Structure 1
Amino acid sequence: MNRHDAITAVWPGQPYPLGATWDGQGVNFALFSEHATGVELCVFDDNGRYERQRIKLRERTDHVWHGYLPQARPGMAYGYRVHGPYKPDEGHRFNAHKLLVDPYAKDLIGGLRWSDALFGYTVGSKREDMSLDKRDSAAFMPKGRVLETAFTWGDDRPPMVPWQDTVIYELHVRGFTKLHPGVPEHLRGTYAALGYAPIVDYIKRLGVTTVELLPVHAYPNDRYLVEKGLQNYWGYNSLAYFAPEMRYCASGKVKEFKTMVKTLHSAGLEVILDVVYNHSCEGNQMGPTLSMRGVDNAAYYILKSDNRRYYEDFTGCGNTINLEHPRALQLVMDSLRYWVEEMHVDGFRFDLASALARESGKVENLGGFFDAIRQDPVLNRVKLIAEPWDLGLGGYQVGNFPPGWAEWNDRYRDGVRGWWKGDYGLVGDLARRLTGSQDLYGWSGKGPTASVNFVTAHDGFTLHDLVSYNDKHNEANGEDNRDGSSHNLSWNCGVEGPSDDPEIIELRARQKRNLLATLLLSQGVPMLLAGDARGHTQRGNNNVYCQDNALAWLDWTENAQSEALHDFVAQLLAIRRAHPTFRRRAFFRGDAPAEGESKDAIWLRPDGAEMAQSDWEDAHARCLGMWIPGTGIVDVNAQGERQHDDDFLILLNAHDKVVPFTIPEDSARPWQCLIDTISAAEPVAAVAPGEPYPLQGRSLVLLQRPNGKA
């Protein structure tokens, strides 16, 4: 068939699978819409610019409109026009003048160009969204494109890194690679760049195991940002849950994403996606009609029960996806399975995951979505991470997600930040965070790996800015510095922003080492923000969601400080990797496993004595020791011999002053100093039991003592 010929044959086709599916001979089209009265498939030229033909889908099975085109081929651009009632007060917003993106589109061509024609109502009308706009929106819309999914995966296998060995590295595809001098310029900022040898080598040298990508589902630039000359940089505003974002694609082909995954897998690195299933880019009742709103608004979105014109907004983005509806739930489940089975990703981090648990407006952690995940043979074997909150009543659910889920632990972030900032009354909280947050996760039978520990993430200050700014500086966002959190628990070390004072520079470098060492020596799953190991700064902007420019992009310029910090992180990760003491699957018991044996964790005060209850209650306590005997852990060495892990002693001093910390005098065996954050260089001094260690102000020390065979 000539691709410019009219399609004359339309067969009944099948209601499943949903979307546009090429079977080697033709393409099956299937679109769910419970309340529609008619559906037209619109066929466009190869570039998606001109509508060539409209085809009525006359078959309808279980609310799915479908048809099979034996003449259609991969690469065909298409969209839908869906007929039905335009009655916003009843929850229906059908408007066949608006071209719609298939919710199951696996590939998109063209970008969204903002126009009033994209809105189902007449912008500026006194009747607002109760009015009906009859302008054709097709010229301004991206189009779906029929995808040939075949790809030569060869011997690709998921790395399947155990949770206790996992170290997550959160990065932005574009921002991480855009300025890298070792990547050809035409590839920078793309999936291809992330799979390029110098990038992969850097990630491997650092020692992380798992790359977590900020959203890569196709998304538009928000209109209000475009009008200010800005762009949606982070991408938390999905348009299509199956299609990769093409602005990160050098080749314009979906297979570029697959090639990236295959390359990272071959290096032993997992790939996790940050996914946004809690809302869509269509916003509230005043938003545009781009996809689900026009396909079946009442099915896909949670609407207010007392007035269905309006949306329940538990996300702060105008709407919330209605996972109580079986077809909306199916959309999310099908999308997740697609990214695992077809794109070979290894897991997901769910943005505002509490919104996915809401049933009748309330958070129900064992609700339909979680039941569906638990029983799914594809999804229950991949990594699942919740951002355990949303913006609605009862949305803060840290510690309450079901077994099989890990969670972003903001209690860890705040506790560790507060400790090194110098806040009082945090010694008990610090101990709980160091040991895996049993207070949050122990009740449900989980282990430390339920806690994804982080000090910084994409949302907030970078590590360098955390120790360089007391206040956010988001003026570049054009919102008069009102956006972004003001509760940062940051400390500028005496000067706001850049400083050429050697003492402040040194203190900031030490504080970064303190925070990183605490993170990587804690029980749980550590997450590093890309760039923190290089001292990346956003000049005090803690909300660069709209800064697709050098403010947010990682600067790869080499300097002594960035190299030293990178080496320090790599050293810590090597220690973590070599010693199961820091990768426990079970919580510390706090007692001796058997008579005559030591406790599995012993808390020390500076005089070397074990902490008493009164010490934990001392609001001014800012120095703490944690002694972890290795006899409680049995490991197997390279020769297959069973042996205990080494003993470790972690000393943390948040005081400004030097504290002489007495080393426990339990035996004559000396301790070796592995880490002292007072200096980035590797210390070598031996420390005798019973002697005071000069623990410098605002520093962390890690001591090691070898053990023998088990």
Structure 2
Amino acid sequence: MDWEIKRGQPWPYGLFVWQNHLNLAFELPEKKKTGRGNPENSHPDERKLEIRIYDLLKKTSVTMPINAGWRLGRSYGVCLELQPTEADGAGRASIENYGYQVLCNGETIPMLYGKAKRRMAGKDVYLFKEKAFDWDGDVSPKLDFDDIILYKLHVRGFTKHASSGVERRGTFEGLAEKISYLKELGVNALELMPVYDFKTVNPEDGQKDERKNYWGYGPADFMAVKPEYAADPEHAGESLKRLIRALHREGMEVYLELLFTKKEDTEFKLACLRHWVLDYHVDGFHLNAEMTPIKEILSDALLADTKIMSENFDGSCDKNVCGKRRAIYHNAFQDGMRQFLRGDEGSAGRFMAQILNRSTEQGYIQYLVNNNGFTMMDLVTYDGRHNEANGEHNLDGPSWNFSWNCGAEGVSRKKEVLRLRRQQLKNAWILNVFQQGTPLIYAGDEFGNSQKGNNNAWCQDNEISWLNWNLLKKNDWLYNFAAEMIQLRRKVKILHPEKPYVQTDVSANGLPDVSFHGKVPWFVGEDGWDRCIGCMYAGDGEAWYFAYNMNSIRETFSLPSLPKRGLWKVYLDTAEVNAKDMEVKDGKILLERHSIVLLWGEY
């Protein structure tokens, strides 16, 4: 097999293939700085540039020089033609069987626009072309944020633990084996932490320890799938496509957490997002507003149907005029709900505001926990962080967690501590599911996964971060409760109606669509200082009452009367004291400390 090389077009960047010809346009990397912080003085033409072409079948390579005269500014254009010889078999004549590296003075240059990679002898090799993938009529479920139950996970950590029970642990294939599990839980959208080829060790950090980047934030080849996340690393792109196709068939959407750095320009970031949408059928992205040109993304025609999630941003430039496709990643929800869960003074007012927090123009992604903090189990098990394993003397990670260990730090065998933790976990699920935004579940919280108090496990590619699936059997009561709450949210429409609450009798049934109460009906103490809140939802002859006692003592709630002498019945009690379907005939109900009771009635 012979290759002919000549001058190509230095723009647009990336690789363009037609038949056995291809054009590679790339940018020369910035000059390295010397020890004094000054750039190297070498002229671009003095650098030795080469392209090394790999035969992926024979595992051989050939290196050819890149002429300095093919440079325009800092950009190069190289044109290559594959010329089969008589000795070559028919299969090797395909561009798909070859990859490449570009070297500058013997060192490999990252190809920012490289869309597929392999590891060969520990080196990154970019592919000229991937095999065509049969999407078999794949279409996006096109879910509304109001209907989504979002589940965030780390592809490797989700099934890497031996207890996961999957055949190909820590891979896209392993995740695919868990699709039925996710559907049974009630999940219909996944947010994947970085699956692009991020650097496990950042050479710019100057780290000399052995810690590795497990989460995936930082420098990366943002267009290429991480080979190690596939059962067959040589076909990682195809592996991810199969996963997305399988999820779409089950009515589940897929979003990528894609956090650019300051180095990439706007043009590249737009090209990157388009690539994931066009080539991988990704349904949306979680982006960092500080590092991403949100305005340009929302006004991009190709991305008009793509869901965009980020921190607070101006959505006035959104080109999508048909339905909500952007959402605020609601970080403030986490702290406010944690404070109310803990029973902090003054937190009830913020809690009530969250119940009404909804928009017809954009969604809100709400969560009590995420990867950058405690798991839900650790939230009720630890008062402080325990990050000693990170090697920074427990000084890293959030210091304010608004957590409560329920009376003992860490693992405990005390019955009262365990009872309170069980209660608080149920309380947390109710707080997260029954608000007006899109609930985000952090993987493993549905069965009490723990990181042993580590709230910054960015470098823990081990059992600290990997989900322990043995806990699913041990804490099946929690999984069943979580699944029931998700099902209840979907089933009872007045708990999450199509339009925002207006606190008036919109259905002419005698009660407002939502109303707030204290320990007595229709009256809430100043800012809910007593930590007792009642929330009633009503419409079409049905009403639900959520009684929240976040106080440290038992409290008696008087319930509002239902029209037509309707009776309240207990649906559940997180303290497991008031029995299911118990009728409240005297209009009063006693709540244990730190407990929530759900009641319903017809009239």
TM-score normalised by the chain length of structure 2:
0.87
Partner of 1:378: 302
Conservation of the 8 A alpha-carbon contact between 2:516 and 2:534: yes
Q: Does 1:259 align with 2:242?
A: yes
Q: Does 1:110 align with 2:119?
A: yes
Q: Deviations over 1:489-528 (max 9, x none)?
A: 0111111000011111111011011011111011111101
| Aligned-pair CA distance for 1:226 | 7.7
Q: Does 1:484 align with 2:484?
A: no
Conservation of the 8 A alpha-carbon contact between 1:564 and 1:680: no
Query: Structure 2: how far apart are the matches of 1:75 and 1:466?
Result: 50
2:140 pairs with one of 143, 158, 168:
158
Conservation of the 8 A alpha-carbon contact between 1:650 and 1:701: yes
Q: What amino acid is the match of 1:162? A: D
2:426 pairs with one of 482, 491, 513:
513
Partner of 1:207: 186
Partner of 2:283: 346
Q: Does 1:419 align with 2:414?
A: no
2:223 pairs with one of 230, 236, 242:
242
Q: 1:214-363 alignment to 2 at 5 Å?
A: 214-222=193-201, 227-252=208-233, 253=235, 254-277=237-260, 279=261, 320-321=262-263, 328-350=265-287, 352-356=288-292
Q: 1:597-616 alignment to 2 at 5 Å?
A: 597-611=510-524, 615-616=525-526
Q: Deviations over 1:598-623 (max 9, x none)?
A: 32221111122333xxx2345x3200
Conservation of the 8 A alpha-carbon contact between 1:603 and 1:626: yes
Q: 1:577-616 alignment to 2 at 5 Å?
A: 577-593=490-506, 597-611=510-524, 615-616=525-526
Number of corresponding residues = 564
Conservation of the 8 A alpha-carbon contact between 2:390 and 2:459: yes
Query: Structure 1: how far apart are the matches of 2:364 and 2:398?
Result: 23
Conservation of the 8 A alpha-carbon contact between 1:464 and 1:532: yes
Query: Structure 1: how far apart are the matches of 2:404 and 2:465?
Result: 21
Q: Does 1:551 align with 2:464?
A: yes
Q: Does 1:15 align with 2:37?
A: no
2:66 pairs with one of 39, 51, 55:
55
Partner of 2:531: 622
Query: Greater shift after overlay, 58-67 or 541-550?
Result: 58-67
1:653 pairs with one of 549, 564, 575:
549
Mark the CA change 1:695 to 1:681 in structure 2 (over 3 Å): closer, same or farther.
closer
Query: Structure 2: how far apart are the matches of 1:383 and 1:420?
Result: 31
Query: Structure 1: how far apart are the matches of 2:477 and 2:577?
Result: 7
Query: Structure 1: how far apart are the matches of 2:435 and 2:185?
Result: 18
Partner of 1:693: 589
Conservation of the 8 A alpha-carbon contact between 1:58 and 1:66: no
| Aligned-pair CA distance for 1:695 | 1.8
Q: Deviations over 1:322-342 (max 9, x none)?
A: 6xxxxx211111110111111
| Aligned-pair CA distance for 1:58 | 5.2
Mark the CA change 1:596 to 1:507 in structure 2 (over 3 Å): closer, same or farther.
closer
Q: Deviations over 1:140-166 (max 9, x none)?
A: 752322232510000211111111001
Conservation of the 8 A alpha-carbon contact between 1:34 and 1:64: no
| Aligned-pair CA distance for 1:62 | 9.1
Query: Structure 1: how far apart are the matches of 2:579 and 2:116?
Result: 50
| Aligned-pair CA distance for 1:81 | 4.3
1:407 pairs with one of 305, 328, 345:
328
2:130 pairs with one of 148, 155, 164:
148
Conservation of the 8 A alpha-carbon contact between 1:625 and 1:651: yes
Give the secondary structure class of the aligned counterpart of 1:607.
coil
Conservation of the 8 A alpha-carbon contact between 1:448 and 1:586: no
Give the secondary structure class of the aligned counterpart of 1:704.
strand
| Aligned-pair CA distance for 1:400 | 5.4
Conservation of the 8 A alpha-carbon contact between 2:146 and 2:438: yes
Query: Structure 2: how far apart are the matches of 1:655 and 1:210?
Result: 35
Give the secondary structure class of the aligned counterpart of 1:629.
strand
Conservation of the 8 A alpha-carbon contact between 1:524 and 1:583: no
Partner of 2:158: 176
Conservation of the 8 A alpha-carbon contact between 1:473 and 1:481: yes
2:22 pairs with one of 21, 27, 35:
27
Q: What amino acid is the match of 1:230? A: R
| Aligned-pair CA distance for 1:585 | 4.5
Q: What amino acid is the match of 2:197? A: A
**Unaligned segments of structure 1, at least 5 residues:** 83-95, 112-138, 280-319, 323-327, 357-368, 389-397, 439-445, 632-643
Partner of 1:78: 100
Conservation of the 8 A alpha-carbon contact between 2:544 and 2:599: yes
Conservation of the 8 A alpha-carbon contact between 1:238 and 1:276: no
Mark the CA change 1:449 to 1:523 in structure 2 (over 3 Å): closer, same or farther.
farther
Query: Structure 1: how far apart are the matches of 2:444 and 2:224?
Result: 27
| Aligned-pair CA distance for 1:371 | 3.3
Q: Does 1:450 align with 2:369?
A: no
Conservation of the 8 A alpha-carbon contact between 1:647 and 1:705: yes
| Aligned-pair CA distance for 1:203 | 0.5
Mark the CA change 1:679 to 1:10 in structure 2 (over 3 Å): closer, same or farther.
farther
| Aligned-pair CA distance for 1:700 | 1.3
Give the secondary structure class of the aligned counterpart of 1:174.
helix
Q: Deviations over 1:176-230 (max 9, x none)?
A: 0112546454x1101111112xx11111111011111111111122257984333
Partner of 1:362: none
| Aligned-pair CA distance for 1:25 | 2.7
Partner of 2:571: 674
Query: Structure 1: how far apart are the matches of 2:589 and 2:137?
Result: 52
Partner of 2:172: 191
Conservation of the 8 A alpha-carbon contact between 2:230 and 2:239: yes
Query: Structure 1: how far apart are the matches of 2:297 and 2:352?
Result: 33
**Unaligned segments of structure 2, at least 5 residues:** 31-42, 84-94, 319-324
Partner of 1:533: 446
Mark the CA change 1:45 to 1:412 in structure 2 (over 3 Å): closer, same or farther.
same
Mark the CA change 1:54 to 1:9 in structure 2 (over 3 Å): closer, same or farther.
closer
TM-score normalised by the chain length of structure 1:
0.74
Q: What amino acid is the match of 1:8? A: E
Partner of 2:321: none
Partner of 2:355: 434
Mark the CA change 1:164 to 1:455 in structure 2 (over 3 Å): closer, same or farther.
same
Conservation of the 8 A alpha-carbon contact between 1:15 and 1:61: no
Conservation of the 8 A alpha-carbon contact between 1:449 and 1:585: no
Mark the CA change 1:149 to 1:435 in structure 2 (over 3 Å): closer, same or farther.
farther
Query: Structure 1: how far apart are the matches of 2:477 and 2:50?
Result: 58
Conservation of the 8 A alpha-carbon contact between 1:14 and 1:66: yes
| Aligned-pair CA distance for 1:275 | 0.4
| Aligned-pair CA distance for 1:660 | 1.4
Give the secondary structure class of the aligned counterpart of 1:378.
helix
Give the secondary structure class of the aligned counterpart of 2:96.
coil
RMSD over aligned CA atoms reads 2.8
| Aligned-pair CA distance for 1:482 | 0.9
Query: Structure 2: how far apart are the matches of 1:559 and 1:337?
Result: 38
